[in-house]
Structure formats: structure tokens, C-alpha cells
Structure 1
């Protein structure tokens, strides 16, 4: 395994399924639509952050940590899974909720992920500035210093692009190795991978994994928080860091390999457009697969838009990376209003 030299906590149910979406394939007539079910990683409703946390927690174990801290949006899947990982490890956990989405709806602030964080007993802090990654990370590092005084050995999982080592991306290097093995076993040639691109840990890990395996598969990332130019730069920075971590020449990330589209981003982070809502309903109806409004719904809307625009050839095998997010659906009751 490419990542075998790194310490890893075993938190996820792996391998996750790789399967055809037959009804979606039939409906949209053209490419074969496959899905990598990383919503099924198991820990506290699963999701992509579990793979990432296996390596963050592994690095924390190397430092004899006994407390985890992180920050994220009110309906953050990363925050929920960090709390669950800490509970599984028997560690203290504190999380910070950033108010990024302009809503005062009770369901958004109390249902879904926030409810689960409370259920698992996390210490919760609030950060009222919604778009200040560096400030949000600093608040957690400051809190970590306070916990040291209390006798803890805390480990902070930052979200900003300035993170020196994106340990979590190693989880998606591993995922790509797993996916390529599954595709080989089923004799499926993968022609493209589709994913939502936010913190960029998943996107960077996927690219680094493909480079490590010398696989020339295009990866299309759909922006969920920032515009395409800013997201492309972020993914490039993190991918180079992951390649360096793996001992691979970072120049193997060549111009054009990072593709980030922002046309499904509007009206903003955590706010779904009509196209995103349609994609969520279509996937639920056709396959019984649940997507969320922040990440996977936008990525699916992006993929369906590409299909409608003729971006793929008939019989191409397109893999949609389902990164989870199911609990956040409960914060958006308006998605089924009037149904």
C-alpha cells in the first residue's frame, strides 16, 4: 500500500462499495455512471472525513495526543466525524462551529450534525466570523494552549490551506489505490472521477494517488465554497504537499491536471440552487442514494450538467465519489416542502 509507512488509526469500514448506478445511467443515456460509496465508511453515519481522520489521528497518536480539536461550519460533516473519532479513541474533544451560512432556521442550527455533536458530548465553541479560516484555526490553537495548562496533550486539525502537512489527504491516496483495485477486478476502465472540492484534502489525495499509481484519469472538482481560481490554487498547493509527503517529485503535478468548476457554487456555501435540489431529488428517486446540499448535491449537479452538455462519450465510465453528508439533510426541511 502506498501509504503503509504512515501511522493510521482504524476508524473506517473499508473497502467501501464501488458499483454501477443503473437507473441514473439509463435515465441520462450516454456514459456509464458508477459511484464510490464513501458515504458508507461507517463511523457516525460515515463520509469522506473518516478516511482523512484515520491519518490525522494516526499522526496524533505518534505525538501521544489525548484530545482532538477542529473547526468547521455549523452543519460540518468533518466536525461530526472528528467528534466520533475522538470518542472511539477515548479522547477529549472540542469543536468550533463557524457561522458561514446566512440562516437563522432552527433546523439548520439544531438538527443533523449539530444534534449529533451534542449527542456524542463534544465541547462546542462558536465562531461568528463565517469566512476567516486563519482566524478560525487560530482560535482552536489558542484553545489548545489552554488545554495544555489543564493537563491535556491536544492535537488540532486545521482547515486552512496553510496547513503544513495535509495528513488527511493520505486517506484519499489510499482510496484511489482501493478504487483502482476494484475497477481492475471488475474489468472497468475509469474514464473520469467527479467530486466536490472544498477543503481540498480529498481532491488533493485523489490526484496524488493517481500520480503515484501513474494513472492518467481526469478528475473534475466542483467548488462548494470558493471560486474556481482560488480553489484551483488551493488544490495545487495541497497536492504538491501530499506528493512531497509520499516522496514523489511534486513537478509530476502538471498544468491542467487540477480542474475546478464553480458554476454550481451559487448562491454560496451551504446554499443549494434549483439545479442542486433537482440533482438531490433525482438521485434519491432513481437510486435511493442520499446526497447533501453542500457537497455531494453540488458535485452531482455538476456531473449531470457535464453529461447534458455532451462532455463525455457514450459508454465512458464515470465515477462519482460520494463523500457523505447525509445528516445535514435534516437541516434543510425546505428541500421537501410541498412534496
Structure 2
């Protein structure tokens, strides 16, 4: 079937957008993995959202296109956001600011599960400084959103025009980036002459999952979206994704209702905590690297891909299924987790 994407394209065009990608990211088949008997005849594909060039790439650039569009429309001169020491969103916000000649204030919080030197000083946090961001390292227990509010008032007092980027870029406006990605995927599927039975994504701050679900809902596509929670519990992630998808649809098409049972979240791969390594994650990262030469991060993609592998091995999908995994980037995080792979 060919999808009618005009309503989605028209709705997205109503919002300011700053071009940060070089064009559509490719969809590639994992031919070696798909041929392994343990995967029961399923066809595994990846959407290479790690191949967005700016700042080392990653899914946050799609969200930042709409958030930066809003910031520039408001005349902002400083971007403010927060996240963990290894936040991909913080790194890419810093890179986007550098590209557009804006100041950048990053508020970084320590991890509850990792405090080694690689984690605290390598990977994303190393790149944040190279992009010229002003980094605020908070002590454990200090609320980053409260600190951000105080920082914004200070910046305004200095005559600056700050714009706050939400956590993970995952506000409804940021989620529009993945509604646009849904249209991109559906066009690519039409061109390939295949139907993706399911799109699998990591679910952290839920913006990627919510945007994709809003997009396929508005496009009336039958492709299902499954998110593996890596941050919150399954119940919390489900509630957040439901609410954000509804909010994103409200921006795109207020008359289109979300069918609640289409929101699918699996919490089986989270592990002990956000960012805590798991044996399944380590195996999934190694398997994709050793069989396909592709690298996924240990916090998001590694856990979600581990979930997909487990489901296919269990026989959850019939032979011949076409399954698309969204590679969301985060490669610098591998260097921060060196000790976990030793």
C-alpha cells in the first residue's frame, strides 16, 4: 500500500523548523543477523538515525529542529537545558548552539549508578566542552529544573534572551521531530515495497516513541510502535507516552483521537536503574557490532535492541515479519562505559 502523508506534512508545516539533518537517514537490512536460525526467519532492519552528522549525530537532532525553530522565532540568543553527565541531548544542544552562533548553558546531574572517571569525564561530557558550552555540574540531590529556572532569571537580568530546551527535547513540540520521522519511514517503506509490522525504539523521555506514534496515527498506518523503557518503570513510561502522544496529536490534528491500546511499552530491559548496564545489553551491543559492524549505545539503544532480540528469539513474531529498529545514536556513551565492557 502507499500511504497518504499529505495531512501529516501539512500539519507539520505549520511549525517553525530549523534544518539540522542532511536529508532522510537510510534504512538498512541486518542481513547477517536476519539469516541466523535463532531469529526464526524474521527480517531485521535498522533506521540509521545515528547517521545525522551534526555534533556526532543522534535522534535528538530531529527534536531540536522544531525546538530550535521555536527558539529562533522568539529571538533567543542562549540555549539552556539539563540532563545527566552522559546526556546525548545536552551534547547535541551544545553542537546546535555552536552551529548557529548561540550561547549554551548545560546543567548536568551525576548518575546514581556510575561515578568512574570515564563516565564523569569522557564520552558526551568531553564533547560538551569542545562545543563551547558553559557546563554547570550539580551536586547530587539538586533539582536541575529548579537550577535552570534560577539560571534563566540570571541570564535575563544580564540582558540575554534564554530559551529552555526541555529534558531530552521531549516536549510535544520536540516530539514533532519524530512525527516527521514517521512520515519519512513510511515513504521509505513504500519505496522499498515492504510493510514494517513493528517499529522498535528506546523509550527514555518518551519523545521519540510519542512522535512516531502520533505520526503513524495521523497517517492511518497499521505499523505498530513498541518502546522499551530504559528510564522509568513500565507503568510510568506507559502513562508518560500516552500523555505525550495525545499532546503531540493535539498540535498536529486536534480532531484525531489516540486509541489507547496502541501505546505499547515493555519494561523488561531497564535493569536496576537508568544507565545501569545489563548482561542482555552487553550481549546485544556486542552482537550487532560483531555481526553487522554497527555500534549502538549502552543506555538506550543497547537495552532496546536486547529487547527486540529476546522477542524474536522467543518467537513473538511470525517468520517473514519486517521489524524496524530505530538506531537513536549515542555512540560517545560507549567510551563512558568502557569499564562495563571490560
Normalising by structure 2, report the TM-score.
0.94
Q: 2:104 aligns with which of 79, 93, 114?
A: 93
> Following TM superposition, where does structure 1 have runs of at least 4 consecutive aligned residues deviating by more than 3 angstroms?
none
1:23-54 Cα offsets, whole Å, 9 max, x none, are 11112232100110000111111000001000
Are 1:54 and 2:95 counterparts? no
CA distance in 1, matches of 2:334, 2:180: 28
2:267 aligned with 1:258, yes or no? no
2:113 aligned with 1:102: yes
CA distance in 1, matches of 2:53, 2:22: 5
Counting only pairs closer than 5 Å after superposition, residues 133-152 of structure 1 correspond to structure 2 as 135-152=143-160
Answer yes or no: is 1:127 the counterpart of 2:165: no
Secondary structure of 2:127's partner?
A: helix
For residues 299 and 160 of structure 1, what CA distance do their matches in structure 2 show? Answer: 17
Tell me how far 1:160 sits from its aligned partner: 8.5
**Does structure 2 retain, via aligned residues, the 8 Å contact 1:212–1:248?**
no
Query: In structure 2, what is the Cα distance between the partners aligned to 1:152 and 1:107?
Result: 34
1:288-307 aligned within 5 A? 288-307=293-312
Aligned to 2:241: 235
Q: Does 1:24 align with 2:29?
A: no
Partners of 1:137 and 1:160 within 8 A in 2: no
C-alpha distance in structure 2 between counterparts of 1:151 and 1:102, whole Å: 39
1:269 alignment partner, one of 268, 274, 278: 274
1:280 aligns with 2:291: no
**What residue is the counterpart of 1:40 in the other structure?**
51
How far the C-alpha of 1:120 sits from its partner, in A, is 1.2
SS at match of 1:221: strand
The runs of 5 or more residues in structure 1 that have no matched partner are none
Deviations along 1:147-189, one digit per CA (max 9) or x if unpaired, are 011111000012289x8x5211011011010110011001011
> What is the match of residue 122 of structure 2?
111
Q: Which stretch of structure 1 is more off in the superposition, 137-146 or 191-200?
A: 137-146
- Alignment correspondent of 2:331: 326
CA RMSD of aligned residues (A): 1.5
* TM-score, normalising length: structure 1: 0.94
Whole-angstrom CA distance in 2 between matches of 1:244 and 1:53: 19
Distance 1:335 1:244 in 2: 42
Deviation of 1:336 after TM superposition, in Å, equals 3.5
How many pairs are equivalent? 331
**Which sits farther off after the overlay, 89-98 or 253-262?**
253-262
Instruction: Kindly provide the CA deviation profile for residues 249-299 of structure 1, in whole angstroms up to 9, marking residues without a partner as x.
Output: 35x211211111111101211112101100000000011110111000001
Question: Contact between 2:113 and 2:273, CA under 8 Å: does it hold in 1?
Answer: no
Structure 1: how far apart are the matches of 2:72 and 2:168? 22
Is residue 13–residue 40 contact of structure 1 (8 Å, CA) maintained in 2?
A: no
